[in-house]
Amino acid sequence: MKMTLNINRKEHEVDIKGHETLLEVLRDQLGMTGTKTSCNESECGACTVIIGKKATLSCITLVANVAGEEVTTIEGLAKGEELHPVQQAFLDNGAAQCGFCIPGMIMSCTALLNNNPNPTQEEMEYALDGNICRCTGYLKIFEAIRDAGGRLSEMEAPKESTFYRHTPETVSSKS
């Protein structure tokens, strides 16, 4: 079955059989390999993308459930050569170690900061609860979140103040 997906502000036509995950389609059909495959069990966060305004684990999200939704991957954050403020803050604050988990971390942080550019420590920890990094103690990541929040605050005020994480149930109900 043919399906049109809105990914990174562009329409992409894909062929699906009905059981493919968003992660599989992103990587295998569209060549968007910034979204990482790791656990395939919603345990690590390496596959995090943003659907609408919500951080979402693409390894457990059926691609058929994202029809009509706006999907943003790590490839869709930068504007040409200009990094997104969250990407730049991760770079400036030394928040990346090996880099494998960083795309998912950046996407979770972007979803958080798009809704709340001045999160508390508890809110940052909650937003990253599903993202595992085996290389760092997260301190540099929290510093990067605070830095990026300041950068985003200077750019524009948020439209919401609540962080949401998509689960398969919320994707299918389009909440």
* Residue 153 DSSP one-character state: H
Which of 8, 14, 47, 11 has the alpha carbon at shortest distance from 168? 47
Local confidence band at 154 (pLDDT 50, 70, 90 cut-offs): confident
Cα distances (angstroms) measured from residue 156 to each of 32, 47, 62, 151? 29, 28, 33, 9
Domains and CATH numbers, the chain: 2-76+162-172 (3.10.20.30), 85-155 (1.10.150.120)
Kindly report, residue by residue over 33-85, the tens digit of the pLDDT.
999 999 888 889 999 999 999 999 999 999 999 999 999 999 999 999 999 99
pLDDT per residue as tens digits for the range 90-125: 999 999 888 889 999 999 999 999 999 999 999 999
pTM attached to this predicted model: 0.86
Sign of the dihedral through C-alpha 152, 69, 108, 94: negative
Q: What is the mean pLDDT of residues 135-141?
A: 85
Q: What letter does residue 82 receive in the DSSP assignment?
A: B
Mean pLDDT, rounded, for 141-148: 96
Q: Which helix (H) or strand (E) holds 23?
A: helix 22-24
